[in-house]
Amino acid sequence: MEHIQKAVEKLASPRLRAAVSIQTTLLSSLTNLMREEGMMQLLPVMVSPITDPLSHSVLEGSIKYGSIELQLTKSMILHKQLALASGLEGVFIISPNVRLEHPERGSTGRHLLEFSQLDFEMRGRKMEDVMRFSERLLAQAFSDVKKRHEKELELFGRELRIPSTPFRTYDSRDLEREYGPDWERIISSSSKDPVWVTNHEREFYDAEDPDKPGTFRNYDIIYPEGFGEGLSGGEREWEHSRILYRMEKKGMDASPYSAYIEAARMGKLVPSAGAGFGIERMLRYVCGVAHIEEVSPFAKVPGKEIIF
C-alpha cells in the first residue's frame, strides 16, 4: 500500500510536472535540430525477430506470436542501418527500449527496465561528425531548457551548466590504465562538463578501426558530477564479410541474424555512424536528481516493485 501511495504522490507532484515540461523542451530542441540537419523521423519498432544483442547481460524479453518468437526491442541499431538502405541520409527515432536489467542495477540511479532513446544514424558520416553533432545537440537543448525553465530548474535546485564544446576526449584504454575498472565513475565525478570516451570493445556492429585492429571507432558521452554515461554510438560495420568476422570473433550464433546478414550480402547496408541518447538519463542530469525514477512517471526500476 505504501508503495502505491508513493507512486501516486509522485505522479501528482509539482516536481514531476516540472520534469515532464523540461523533457518536452529537450525533445523538441533535439529533434528540431535533427530535422534542420535533413534527418527523417522513423516510427519505433517494438517487436522483431532480431534486436541489439547488447554487450552486457540482461534477462531475456520476448513474446510469442503463434509459433514465432519476437524479441522486444533492446535498441533499434540494426533497424537504423537497414532503414538507410532506402537512400535516406539520416534517420532518428524516439525509440522505446525494453532491457530486463538484473535487479542489482536498481541502485545505480540510472537503470530502468524500459526507457527511451533518441536514436539516430547518419549515412556516410564518421565518428568525429557524430561527436560534433551530438555536442551541438546537447548545448542547444540545455540552453533552451535554461531559457524556458528557470522556475522548474529552481524547483530542483539545479544550476545547469551549458557545456563548452568540443568536449574533452579520452581513450577508454588510457582511463582503464590510469584508474582501473572504475574509470567511468572517477572521470564522471571529477569533470564539470560532459566528456567523450572512445574506443570500447563491444557489440559486433561497432566498427573496428581498419588501420588499427583492436581499436574501435565508437564513443560514449559521460555526464559530469557522477551522473555517468548518457550516450553511446559508433561508426558501424556494414560489409558482409566484416559482419561475419566480428560475429565469429565474438563467438555469436549468427543464425538469428540471417535476414540482416543477407541484406549485408546484397550490399544494402551502407557506411554510417550514429548514436543514441538515453532520454531519461539526460533528464536526470538536467534536473540533477539522484535517481532516474524521480523524473520518470512510470519508472520500472530493476528489482523494485512495479506499480504502473
> What residue ranges bind ligand AMP (CB under 6 A)?
75, 99, 101, 111-112, 115, 117, 229-232, 276, 278, 280-281
Q: How far is the CB of 188 from ligand AMP (least distance, A)?
A: 12
Q: How far is the CB of 278 from ligand AMP (least distance, A)?
A: 2
Work out what residue 115 binds among ligand AMP, Mg ion, none; the CB cut-off runs from 5 to 8 Å by kind: ligand AMP
Contact of 291 with 156, CB cutoff 8 Å: no
Which region among 43-51, 231-239, 257-265, 284-292 touches Mg ion (by CB under 5 A)?
231-239
Helix (H), strand (E) at residue 97? strand 90-98
- Among 134, 232, 272, 296, interactor with Mg ion by CB under 5 A: 232
Helix (H), strand (E) at residue 193? none
Q: How far is the CB of 74 from ligand AMP (least distance, A)?
A: 8
Work out what residue 230 binds among ligand AMP, Mg ion, none; the CB cut-off runs from 5 to 8 Å by kind: ligand AMP
Work out what residue 231 binds among ligand AMP, Mg ion, none; the CB cut-off runs from 5 to 8 Å by kind: ligand AMP
Does the CA dihedral 116-117-118-124 come out positive or negative?
negative
Kindly tell me which of 152 and 206 has the beta carbon lying closer to Mg ion.
206
Which region among 36-44, 57-65, 180-188, 226-234 touches Mg ion (by CB under 5 A)?
226-234
Q: How far is the CB of 115 from ligand AMP (least distance, A)?
A: 4
| Sequence letter at residue 14 | P
Instruction: List 125's β-bridge partners, or say none.
Output: none
Q: How far is the CB of 234 from ligand AMP (least distance, A)?
A: 9
Work out what residue 158 binds among Mg ion, ligand AMP, none; the CB cut-off runs from 5 to 8 Å by kind: none
Kindly tell me which of 97 and 232 has the beta carbon lying closer to Mg ion.
232
Closest CA to 129 of 96, 174, 170, 89: 89
Decide: helix, strand or coil at residue 29.
helix
Closest CA to 277 of 105, 58, 109, 120: 120
Kindly tell me which of 110 and 158 has the beta carbon lying closer to Mg ion.
110
Closest CA to 20 of 224, 275, 299, 225: 299
Work out what residue 276 binds among Mg ion, ligand AMP, none; the CB cut-off runs from 5 to 8 Å by kind: ligand AMP
> Strand ranges (DSSP E) for 175-267?
195-198, 218-223, 228-235
Contact of 170 with 156, CB cutoff 8 Å: no
Q: How many residues does the chain have?
A: 308
Give the gyration radius of the chain's Cα atoms: 19
In terms of Cβ atoms closer than 10 Å to its own Cβ (0-12, 13-18, 19+), residue 308 is exposed
Kindly tell me which of 25 and 232 has the beta carbon lying closer to Mg ion.
232
Rounded to 5°, the CA angle 48-50-51 comes to: 95
Kindly tell me which of 227 and 257 has the beta carbon lying closer to ligand AMP.
227
Contact of 126 with 258, CB cutoff 8 Å: no
Which region among 15-23, 120-128, 159-167, 224-232 touches Mg ion (by CB under 5 A)?
224-232
Work out what residue 111 binds among ligand AMP, Mg ion, none; the CB cut-off runs from 5 to 8 Å by kind: ligand AMP
Q: How far is the CB of 197 from ligand AMP (least distance, A)?
A: 11
| Positions that interact with Mg ion (CB under 5 A) | 232
